């Protein structure tokens, strides 16, 4: 980062006594900027044996498949953001369920919460930032063409849980693909 969002002064990375890492600090208003992970919501939207995936029309991961996902807007409830992303990215109407997985993705500075969801019907189509949206059964999942490591992790957990007959809750720290 270059400039303070509060007063516009140029910020500098500073070592501060007693702090474990250098921080961006503003010499004008003395604000310290902690660059903590941002929260992303995703939905694992199911209809019968199919899982909804979108083929991305934007970078990162252009042309690759992902769960519908995106950043939460300031002030927006996470659950509403998940419903909105399914509609924007896959033109799909979902009934949101409970959180199913939480991932920390250090290299992207993100936390990702994945909600279970039911698709109201099998209607889905590309949205403004996607090339394609469709349902995949397990045998059809394009494992070699997933956009993010977390997508593969959560899909493997989900199909594994289905086989064991118990949908758990999963946490993982995700390394870069």
Asked if residue 12 binds Zn ion (CB under 5 A), the reply is no
Q: Whose Cβ is closer to Zn ion: residue 2's or residue 176's?
A: 2
Question: In 3-state terms, the chain is what percent helix, strand and coil (to 5)?
Answer: 20, 35, 40
Phi/psi at 48 (nearest 5 deg)? 55, -115
Asked if residue 4 binds Zn ion (CB under 5 A), the reply is yes
Q: Which of 3, 16, 22, 28 binds Zn ion (CB under 5 A)?
A: 28
**Residue 32 Cβ, how far from Zn ion at the closest point, in Å?**
10
Q: Whose Cβ is closer to Zn ion: residue 26's or residue 72's?
A: 26
Asked if residue 29 binds Zn ion (CB under 5 A), the reply is yes
Asked if residue 7 binds Zn ion (CB under 5 A), the reply is yes
Selection from 112, 90, 86 nearest residue 101 by Cα: 112
Q: Residue 94 belongs to what H/E stretch? A: strand 94-105
Kindly list the distances between the CA atom of residue 165 and the CA atoms of 159, 161, 162, in Å, as whole numbers in the listed order.
10, 6, 5
Asked if residue 3 binds Zn ion (CB under 5 A), the reply is no
**Residue 28 Cβ, how far from Zn ion at the closest point, in Å?**
4
**Residue 31 Cβ, how far from Zn ion at the closest point, in Å?**
5
Segment interacting with Zn ion, rule: CB under 5 A, options 24-32, 62-70, 99-107, 147-155: 24-32
Q: What angle do CA 15, 173, 65 make, to 5 degrees?
A: 115
Asked if residue 27 binds Zn ion (CB under 5 A), the reply is no
Let me know: does 31 contact 19? Beta carbons within 8 Å. Answer: no
Q: Residue 66 belongs to what H/E stretch? A: strand 65-66
> How many residues sit close enough to Zn ion to count as binding (CB under 5 A)?
7
Asked if residue 32 binds Zn ion (CB under 5 A), the reply is no
- Interface ranges with Zn ion (CB under 5 A): 4, 6-7, 9, 26, 28-29
């Amino acid at each position: 980062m270059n400039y303070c969002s509060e007063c516009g002064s140029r910020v500098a990375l500073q070592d501060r006594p007693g702090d474990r890492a250098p921080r961006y600090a503003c010499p004008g208003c003395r604000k310290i900027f902690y660059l903590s992970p941002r929260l992303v919501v995703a939905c694992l939207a199911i209809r019968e044996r199919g899982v909804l995936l979108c083929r991305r029309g934007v970078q990162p991961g252009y042309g690759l498949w992902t769960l519908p996902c995106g950043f939460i807007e300031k002030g927006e409830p996470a659950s509403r953001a998940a419903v909105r992303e399914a509609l924007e990215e896959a033109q799909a109407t979902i009934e949101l369920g409970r959180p199913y997985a939480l991932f920390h993705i250090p290299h992207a500075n993100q936390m990702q919460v994945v909600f279970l969801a039911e698709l109201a019907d099998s209607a889905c189509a590309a949205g403004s930032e996607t090339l394609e949206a469709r349902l995949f059964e397990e045998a059809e999942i394009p494992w070699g063409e997933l956009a993010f490591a977390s997508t593969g992790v959560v899909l493997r957990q989900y199909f594994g849980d289905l086989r064991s007959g118990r949908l758990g809750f999963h946490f993982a720290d995700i390394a870069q693909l």
